[in-house]
């Protein structure tokens, strides 16, 4: 099986069109068609359904696509290994959790772009689990996620430690019994969180369960400002890094509830594939990240929408 044929197959699958794939690959349509037919003949199964609007994958094509995509990505990585320069060039694909992106990353990205203008940075936000999957599938070179990450395919390095705190509306008061103020009722508590796969969400749910809460209602929000707005309005509670929410607390928009000693500390780790190539561009990004000093409370701004 020719790896080049698999690259052509992956391009056609991505665009659903022979002509668009040919344009991307800088070749003629007949060459793409010939490559696909050769691959289908070798495998003994059709890989695409042809129709007037383009092509769609057959069941066999769906099964082949992850392998073809991985080969395409590994060939791209091989080209970058050979062409790796002392000065960073090319593309850098990195990811981060929403809260880290809003607070920790702007300064790093601005400084990196200024110093290395020949690098095209693709920056993606997501949940911890989602970003882990993206790195493992080689769609991202590295990502900042909540630790610890115990995966044999990945290397992880702690880059900073966050203190997580429960946040509520400012008028929440401590109840008469020994329950924390944020446990409004042992029967049911409503939380506002990022989508499934968020590490902070899982930690908050575990906290509530340990406090004897029998029912947890979830409200998913896609932006940091939206999430904090729901907390401020008293709709729900959440769990976030102190550095993110402290300015809101100083303005009496929300209330902060620290967790018992040691329970709120979590490392943010940089993950990458153990067998992946560390380009000069990625090495320089890691250096920028490690050299960044933690911002002071006064310098933190949270009016950043994460989509």
DSSP 245-259: HHHHHHTTSSEEEEP
- Which of the following CATH numbers is that of domain 90-160+267-299: 3.40.190.10, 3.40.47.10, 3.40.50.10320, 3.30.2000.10? 3.40.190.10
Rounded Cα distance between 153 and 210, Å, is 32
Q: DSSP class of residue 203? A: H
Summarised one tens digit per residue, pLDDT across range 85-106 is 557 777 899 999 999 998 889 9
Domain assignments of the chain as residue spans, ordered by start: 3-80, 90-160+267-299, 162-265
Summarised one tens digit per residue, pLDDT across range 107-161 is 999 999 999 998 889 999 999 999 999 999 888 999 999 999 999 999 999 999 9
Rounded Cα distance between 60 and 199, Å, is 35
3-state helix, strand, coil in the chain (%, to 5): 45, 25, 35
Q: Hey, what are 186's tokens?
A: 């042992």
What value does the mean pLDDT take over residues 35-41? 90
pLDDT band at 296 (very low <50, low <70, confident <90, very high): very low
Q: Is the full-model pTM beyond 0.85?
A: no
Tell me the backbone φ, ψ of residue 27, rounded to 5 degrees.
Answer: -145, 180
Is the CB of residue 271 less than 8 Å from the CB of residue 154? yes
């Amino acid at each position: 099986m020719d790896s080049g044929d698999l690259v052509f197959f992956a391009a056609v699958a991505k665009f659903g069109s022979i002509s668009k794939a040919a344009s991307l690959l800088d070749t003629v349509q007949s060459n793409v068609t010939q490559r696909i037919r050769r691959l289908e003949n070798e495998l003994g199964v059709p890989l695409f359904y042809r129709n007037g609007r383009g092509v769609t994958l057959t069941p066999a094509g769906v099964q082949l696509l992850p392998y073809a995509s991985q080969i395409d990505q590994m060939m791209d990585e091989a080209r970058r290994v050979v062409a790796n320069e002392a000065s960073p060039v090319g593309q850098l694909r990195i990811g981060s959790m929403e809260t880290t992106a809003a607070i920790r990353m702007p300064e790093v990205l601005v400084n990196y772009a200024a110093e290395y203008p020949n690098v095209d940075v693709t920056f993606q936000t997501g949940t911890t689990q989602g970003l882990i999957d993206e790195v493992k599938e080689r769609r991202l070179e590295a990502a900042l996620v909540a630790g610890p990450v115990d995966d044999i395919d990945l290397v992880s390095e702690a880059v900073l430690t966050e203190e997580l705190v429960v946040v509520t509306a400012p008028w929440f008061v401590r109840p008469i019994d020994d329950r924390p103020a944020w446990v409004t009722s042992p029967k049911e508590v409503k939380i506002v969180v990022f989508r499934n796969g968020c590490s902070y969400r899982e930690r908050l749910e575990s906290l509530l369960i340990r406090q004897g809460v029998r029912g947890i209602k979830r409200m998913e929000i896609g932006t940091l400002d939206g999430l904090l707005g729901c907390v401020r309005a008293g709709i729900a509670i959440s769990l976030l890094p102190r550095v993110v929410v402290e300015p809101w607390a100083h303005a009496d928009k929300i209330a902060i509830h620290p967790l018992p000693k040691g329970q709120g500390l979590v490392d943010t780790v940089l993950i990458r594939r153990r067998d992946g190539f560390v380009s000069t561009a990625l090495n320089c990004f890691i250096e920028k990240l490690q050299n960044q000093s933690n911002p002071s409370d006064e310098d933190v701004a949270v009016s950043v929408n994460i989509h």
